[in-house]
Amino acid sequence: MFCSPTFSLHGLIHVSDSRSDPPLPPAPALDARRESARRERGDKLMRFLANWQGMAGLALVILFVASAIFAPWIAPYDPNAMDIPARMSPPGWAHLAGTDQLGRDTFSRILHGGRIALMIAALGVTASLVIGLALGMIAGYGPRWLDNLLLMLFDAVRSFPTIILALATVALTGPSLGVVLAIVIITTIPSYARVARTATLALRNTEFILAERALGASTLRIMWHHVMPNVMGPLLILAAMEVPVVVTIEAGLSFLGLGVRPPQASWGTILNEGYLVIRDAPWMVVAGGIPLILTTLGFTFLGEALRDIFDPRMGRGR
Global pTM reads 0.77
Nearest to 171 by CA among 154, 183, 159: 183
pLDDT of residue 127: 94
pLDDT of residue 132: 92
List, in order, residues 6 or more apart from 36 with CB less than 8 Å away. none
DSSP 22-44: PPPPPHHHHHHHHHHHHHHHHHH
- Bridge partner residues of 7 (DSSP): 13
pLDDT of residue 31: 61
Give alpha helix (H) positions in the chain. 27-49, 52-69, 71-74, 106-141, 144-159, 162-173, 177-203, 207-214, 219-222, 228-255, 267-276, 283-310, 312-317
pLDDT in tens, the chain (318 residues): 444 444 443 444 344 444 444 454 555 655 666 666 677 666 767 777 777 888 898 999 999 999 999 999 999 998 888 888 888 888 888 888 888 888 899 999 999 999 999 999 999 999 999 999 999 989 888 888 888 898 899 888 888 887 788 888 887 887 788 888 888 899 889 999 999 998 888 877 777 777 777 777 777 777 777 778 888 888 888 888 889 888 988 888 888 888 888 788 889 889 988 888 888 888 889 988 999 999 999 998 988 888 877 765 544 444
Domains with residue ranges and CATH for the chain = 44-71+102-317 (1.10.3720.10)
pLDDT of residue 174: 79
